[in-house]
């Protein structure tokens, strides 16, 4: 059966080796991070901890930061305070004027324990983390630590001819390298999960992490430099600004989530009123997003596409007589345009979704356009194909019917459907069927 889960952007959770085959990049990232974590713990247990009070203070900060992790748009889990604390411990040269001597492996061991303790309450409450995101946070610290700690003796204020600026430049450079490494890793995992182009995923990750990533890196450097004079009290002083930033990002994520929930609720009005088949809007939205990923659309464009696909039939609420079965693909072109125009007008009333309203308004136009405005936006062409597939196939359990629908769209001789979008839809459906 072609249910709404059939078109989900993520494969159904599989156990064991099947999931490893589905997401090898994700498994590799988690495995590498786990290897460094286990190795650092074993090495530190054998050689022993040094300066236990400092390690404990930073470990507690990291654990609390991991406990307060947040989920940003795009299902990205971040722990700004934990990451800043880990970077601060990595860059720590002196504490209150006294030179510190912890090794790179002790840093990784403290970070591992802090991450684990911070995640335990979440796991106990049934909120298991996205392990690839935890692994990425760990790998960033691995890269920075292994590149910085070997040079601590030369950078320490107690060394001969010491100057502060080489240490600061190295810290800033490593933060930038760590941020870029994280973006590349996140892009690889995201491209694998969404089946989109890695270049598109990389640009999305750079935009998503730019502001917060720089704030985390700067806070980590400030914690390390401030602790040189203030001691452990610097942890509290320079963590506070990051907490304010985290609260702002959390509110932003909540607003985005509320927006999406509101749009989803609004899209169900047509189903409750009997204007369209149950689940139609959600199935069209899921297929449209999958097709958008196949075509390499940016994350921001995918979000607008999701909104537009959810509300593409909302104009039917203004009809006196509902379209038979809610399938607008069978309606006359004039009626289709009227539904699109009415839906667009409703969406424009929000005052903040004008681009979404434009996608809805032009969803029924031929692929090459029919006026002076030129071809409709890619999102409109995607919605047109996704809507036609669901109108014609519905929840059919017969794969041959789905293929027949796709073949019908391919054979369209009037230029109604974009051939590239139709082929992308075929690939998305085939991939979803293979995962299912």
Residue 293 and residue 207 share a domain = no
pLDDT, tens digit (0-9, with 9 covering 90-100), for 136-157:
999 999 999 999 988 887 777 6
What pTM value is reported for the model?
0.78
Spatial distance between the Cα atoms of 78 and 337, rounded to a whole number of angstroms: 44
Nearest CA among 120, 102, 119, 123 for reference residue 58: 102
Residues 313 and 394 in one domain: yes
Are residues 204 and 308 part of one domain? no
Q: Convert 263-300 into a string of H (helix), E (strand) and C (coil).
A: HHHHHCHHHHCCCCCCCHHHHHHHHHHHHHHHCCCCHH
Same domain, 340 and 233: no
Are 248 and 339 members of one domain? no
Q: What is the pLDDT of residues 378-435, one digit of tens each?
A: 999 999 999 999 888 877 656 788 888 888 888 876 788 999 999 999 888 887 776 6
- Looking at residue 214, its pLDDT comes to 84
**Which CATH number characterizes residue 345's domain?**
1.10.3210.10
Name residue, tokens 């979440």: 122
Q: Does residue 30 lie within any of the structural domains?
A: yes
- Domain assignment of residue 263, yes or no: no
Q: What is the pLDDT of residue 91?
A: 92
Please tell me whether residues 89 and 159 are part of one structural domain.
Answer: yes
Query: Does a structural domain hold residue 160?
Result: yes
Assess whether pLDDT exceeds 60 at residue 436. Answer: no
Whether 361 and 408 map to the same domain: the answer is: yes
Is residue 423 situated within a structural domain? yes
Q: How many CB atoms within 10 Å of residue 138?
A: 24
- Do 240 and 372 lie in one domain? The reply is no
Domain boundary among 229, 256, 283: 256
- Asked if residue 68 is part of any domain, the answer here is yes
DSSP 311-363: TTTGGGGG-SSPPGGG-GGGS-HHHHHHHHHHHHHHHHTTSS-HHHHHHHHTT
Distances (CA, A) of 111 to 83, 135, 404: 9, 12, 55
Of 176, 165, 139, the residue nearest 36 (C-alpha): 139
Same domain assignment for residues 316 and 407: yes
The answer on pLDDT for 16 being more than 50 is no
pLDDT tens track for 323-363: 766 677 877 888 888 888 888 888 888 776 888 889 999 98
Read off the pLDDT of residues 26-71 as tens digits, 9 standing for 90 and up.
999 999 999 999 999 999 999 888 888 899 999 999 999 999 888 8
Q: How far from 60 is each of 64, 105, 167, 293, 361, CA to CA, in Å?
A: 6, 18, 26, 40, 54
pLDDT for residue 184: 92
Q: What are 182-228's pLDDT values in tens digits?
A: 999 999 998 888 878 888 888 888 888 777 888 888 888 888 888 87
Round to whole Å and give the CA distance between 249 and 245.
Answer: 6
The answer to whether 336 and 312 are in contact (CB under 8 A) is no
Residue 243, pLDDT above cutoff 80: no
321 pLDDT above the threshold of 80: no
pLDDT given for residue 162 in this prediction: 58
Q: Flag whether 261 is in a domain.
A: no
Would residue 396 count as lying in a domain? yes
Q: How many CB atoms lie within 10 A of CB 257?
A: 12
Question: What is the rounded (10 degree) CA torsion for 128, 90, 216, 61?
Answer: 60
C-alpha Rg value of the chain to the nearest Å: 26
The three-state secondary structure class of 9 is: coil
Range of 300's domain? 268-435
Closest CA to 66 of 39, 42, 84: 84
CB contact at 8 A, 196 and 185: no
Q: What confidence score (pLDDT) does residue 159 get?
A: 54
Same domain, 334 and 401: yes
Q: Are residues 407 and 301 in the same domain?
A: yes
Instruction: Tell whether 207 and 321 lie within a shared domain.
Output: no
Domain count of the chain? 2
pLDDT digits (tens, 9 = 90+) for 119-130: 999 999 888 888
pLDDT per residue as tens digits for the range 263-313: 878 778 887 777 788 888 888 999 999 999 888 888 888 988 998 998 888
Beta-carbon contacts of residue 228 (< 8 Å; ≥ 6 apart): 93, 94, 95, 96, 97, 157
| Inside any domain, residue 262 | no
């Amino acid at each position: 059966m072609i249910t709404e889960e059939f078109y989900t952007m993520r494969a159904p959770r599989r156990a064991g080796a099947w999931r490893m085959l589905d997401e090898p990049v994700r498994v590799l990232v988690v495995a590498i991070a786990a290897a460094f974590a286990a190795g650092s713990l074993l090495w530190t247990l054998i050689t022993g901890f040094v300066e236990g009070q400092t390690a404990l203070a930073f470990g507690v900060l990291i654990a609390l930061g991991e406990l307060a992790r947040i989920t940003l748009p795009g299902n990205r889990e971040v722990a700004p305070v934990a990451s800043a604390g880990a970077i601060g411990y990595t860059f720590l040269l002196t504490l209150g004027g006294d030179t510190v001597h912890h090794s790179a492996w002790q840093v990784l061991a403290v970070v591992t324990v802090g991450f684990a303790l911070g995640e335990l309450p979440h796991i106990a409450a049934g909120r298991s983390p996205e392990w690839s995101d935890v692994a990425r946070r760990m790998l960033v610290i691995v890269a920075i630590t292994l590149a910085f700690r070997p040079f601590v003796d030369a950078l320490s204020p107690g060394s001969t001819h010491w100057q502060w600026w080489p240490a600061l430049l190295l810290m800033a450079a490593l933060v930038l390298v760590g941020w870029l490494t994280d973006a590349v890793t996140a892009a690889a995992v995201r491209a694998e999960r969404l089946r989109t182009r890695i270049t598109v995923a990389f640009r999305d990750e750079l935009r998503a992490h730019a502001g917060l990533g720089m704030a985390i890196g700067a806070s980590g450097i400030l914690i390390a430099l401030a602790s040189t004079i203030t001691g452990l009290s610097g942890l509290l002083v320079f963590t506070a600004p990051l907490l304010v930033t985290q609260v702002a990002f959390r509110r932003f994520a909540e607003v985005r989530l509320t927006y999406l929930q509101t749009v989803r609720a609004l899209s169900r009005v047509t189903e409750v009123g009997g204007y369209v088949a149950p689940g139609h809007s959600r199935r069209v939205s899921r297929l449209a997003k999958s097709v958008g990923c196949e075509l390499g659309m940016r994350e921001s464009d995918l979000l607008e596409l999701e909104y537009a696909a959810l509300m593409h039939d909302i104009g039917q609420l203004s009809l006196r007589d509902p379209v038979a079965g809610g399938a607008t693909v069978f309606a006359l072109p004039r009626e289709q345009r009227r539904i699109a125009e009415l839906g667009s007008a409703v969406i424009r009333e929000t005052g903040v979704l004008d681009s979404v309203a434009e996608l809805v308004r032009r969803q029924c136009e031929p692929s090459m356009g029919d006026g002076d405005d030129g071809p409709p936006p890619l999102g409109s062409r995607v919605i047109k194909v996704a809507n036609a597939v669901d109108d014609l196939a519905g929840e059919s359990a017969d794969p041959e019917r789905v293929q027949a629908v796709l073949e019908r769209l391919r054979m369209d001789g009037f230029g109604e459907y974009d051939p590239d979008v139709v082929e992308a839809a075929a690939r998305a459906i085939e991939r979803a069927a293979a995962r299912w």
